[in-house]
């Protein structure tokens, strides 16, 4: 089976953890490789953000960067790029709302089914306390959910939300969890990781990984650190963003306002292959987002054997077992998050036990299993179209 994957939001090769790149580029990169290994040839047609590194003509999988100035231009250039390849795709899978219209146009033109994955859905973000989202986005998401043959989500809970919010029939949505590469993310000796990062062996380290912005709850995290019982020997290690990005300055201001600037250790985003030592150096990994569709960072921390303090919402609620692999707190509640940190930092044996439970849980989330499940969904959608 050959699948055209449309990503108008960014390339699988975008560096995650800064700018607008995050879990979606990790998902695309990991999934295209795992799908190929599962016998599904996935070609990715991606808008390039920033300098275009050109076309990647590995076969398979193949990534084509569609260089377009705007959304209508992207759709036209996408159709032209697909025409040029002359490949008979069996299905089109679009990722993120900006890809939906171009993907639907492509699927209609090829006469094949269309699958949509939103990654985040505007109405769900707003309900979770996020800033108002643009109306065209909400329209595009509702339209994609209505017109697609199937909607692939990352959790059963998200599928159920889409049925409630958009009247989607339950048999048209399929939950396919993301995965974690346990050959990269696994337990490592803490002392070595700390020495490499210039962190003292006796310090207590709370880690945050990923883009820095209000929806990720970075301000809640800073306020929680300020509330800790004995905050003096705690290091808040934040890995993500870049110097000069608004989020980075906002983080510093937030730390100043909470009088914890001295505890903040901000490091710019690093390539994923360097992240395991940051996880290994931590006593606890914080994921205080107002909402997470899946929660890749929590899963990576778990795979590294680090306990997680996370918001009780979305995918995090399914990944982190409260009291077992971490602690779940009400989103936006700095006092509850501080309490969770105190519980884990104050009881290293509890933290260690939770870390081990998390590592055992994370082993079940492989990209190969995710790809096998997605391949099944593709088969089902294609045969439903042939028979229907
Ligand atoms: N990440 C990375 N380097 C960094 C920070 C983050 O490679 O410095 C990766 C991290 O491993 C994770 C992804 O970026 O896989 C962020 O995932 P999340 O779902 O939180 O991203 P979002 O799409 O919500 O920004």
- The SS3 assignment for 325 reads coil
Distance in angstroms (rounded) separating the CA atoms of residues 82 and 3 = 11
pLDDT digits (tens, 9 = 90+) for 186-205: 999 999 999 999 999 999 99
- Main-chain dihedrals φ then ψ at residue 207, nearest 5 degrees: -110, 140
Between the CA of 97 and the centroid of ligand 1 the distance, in Å, is 19
Other beta carbons less than 10 A from residue 246's beta carbon: 10
Nearest CA to ligand 1 atom 7: 272
- Main-chain dihedrals φ then ψ at residue 183, nearest 5 degrees: -75, -20
Between the CA of 213 and the centroid of ligand 1 the distance, in Å, is 13
CA distances from 261 to 231, 236, 240, 253, 342 (A): 12, 9, 17, 8, 19
Distance in angstroms (rounded) separating the CA atoms of residues 100 and 28 = 16
H or E, element range at 329: strand 326-329
Q: Is 107's pLDDT higher than 70? A: yes
Nearest CA to ligand 1 atom 10: 297
Please indicate whether residue 210, judged by its CB atom, sits closer than 6 Å to ligand 1. yes
Which residue out of 124, 280, 296 has the highest number of ligand 1 atoms within 8 Å of its CB and is therefore the one to mutate?
296
Q: Is 49's pLDDT higher than 70? A: no
pLDDT digits (tens, 9 = 90+) for 130-165: 999 999 999 999 999 999 999 999 999 999 999 999
Which atom in ligand 1 lies closest to the alpha carbon of residue 209?
A: 5
In this predicted structure, which of 49-53, 140-144, 253-257 has the lowest mean pLDDT?
49-53
pLDDT digits (tens, 9 = 90+) for 26-36: 999 999 999 99
- Main-chain dihedrals φ then ψ at residue 130, nearest 5 degrees: -75, 165
For the chain, how many helices (H) and strands (E)? 15, 13
Average pLDDT, the chain: 94
Q: Is 253's pLDDT higher than 90? A: yes
Q: Is 180's pLDDT higher than 60? A: yes
**pLDDT number for residue 54:** 45
Predicted TM-score of the model (pTM)? 0.96
Please indicate whether residue 288, judged by its CB atom, sits closer than 6 Å to ligand 1. no
Please indicate whether residue 275, judged by its CB atom, sits closer than 6 Å to ligand 1. yes
Confidence of residue 67 (pLDDT cuts 50, 70, 90): confident
Please indicate whether residue 331, judged by its CB atom, sits closer than 6 Å to ligand 1. no
**Interior/surface letters 103-116, b for 16+ CB within 10 angstroms, e for the rest:** bbbbbeebebbbbb
């Amino acid at each position: 089976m050959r699948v055209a994957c449309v990503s108008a939001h960014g390339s699988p090769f975008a560096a995650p953890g800064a700018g607008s790149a995050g879990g979606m580029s990790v998902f695309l990169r990991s999934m295209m490789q795992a799908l190929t290994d599962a016998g599904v040839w996935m070609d990715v047609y991606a808008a390039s953000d920033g300098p275009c590194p050109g076309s990647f003509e590995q076969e398979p999988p193949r990534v084509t960067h569609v260089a377009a100035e705007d959304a209508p231009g992207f759709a036209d250039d996408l159709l032209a790029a697909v025409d040029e390849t002359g490949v008979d795709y069996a299905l089109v899978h679009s990722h993120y709302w900006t890809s939906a219209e171009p993907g639907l146009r492509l699927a209609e033109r090829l006469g094949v089914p269309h699958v949509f994955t939103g990654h985040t859905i505007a109405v769900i973000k707003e309900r979770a306390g996020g800033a108002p989202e643009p109306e065209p986005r909400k329209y595009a998401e509702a339209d994609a959910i209505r017109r697609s043959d199937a909607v692939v989500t990352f959790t059963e809970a998200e599928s159920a939300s889409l049925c409630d919010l958009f009247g989607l029939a339950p048999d048209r949505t399929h939950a396919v969890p993301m995965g974690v590469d346990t050959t990269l993310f696994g337990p490592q000796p803490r002392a070595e990781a700390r020495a490499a990062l210039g962190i003292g062996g006796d310090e207590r380290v709370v880690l945050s990984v990923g883009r820095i912005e209000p929806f990720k709850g970075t301000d809640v995290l800073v306020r929680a650190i300020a509330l800790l019982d004995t905050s003096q020997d705690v290091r808040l290690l934040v890995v993500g963003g870049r110097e000069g990005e608004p989020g980075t300055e906002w983080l510093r201001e937030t730390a100043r306002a909470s009088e914890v600037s001295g505890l903040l250790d901000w490091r710019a985003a690093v390539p994923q292959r360097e992240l395991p030592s940051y996880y290994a150096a931590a006593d606890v990994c914080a994921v205080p987002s107002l909402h997470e569709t899946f929660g890749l960072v929590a899963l990576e921390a778990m795979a590294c054997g680090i306990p997680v303090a996370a918001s009780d919402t979305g995918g995090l609620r399914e990944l982190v077992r409260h009291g077992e692999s971490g602690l779940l707190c009400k989103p936006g509640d700095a006092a509850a998050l501080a309490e969770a940190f105190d519980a884990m930092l104050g009881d290293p044996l509890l933290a260690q036990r939770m870390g081990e439970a998390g590592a055992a849980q994370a082993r079940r989330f492989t990209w190969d299993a995710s790809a096998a499940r997605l391949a099944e969904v593709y088969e089902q959608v294609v045969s439903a179209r042939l028979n229907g």
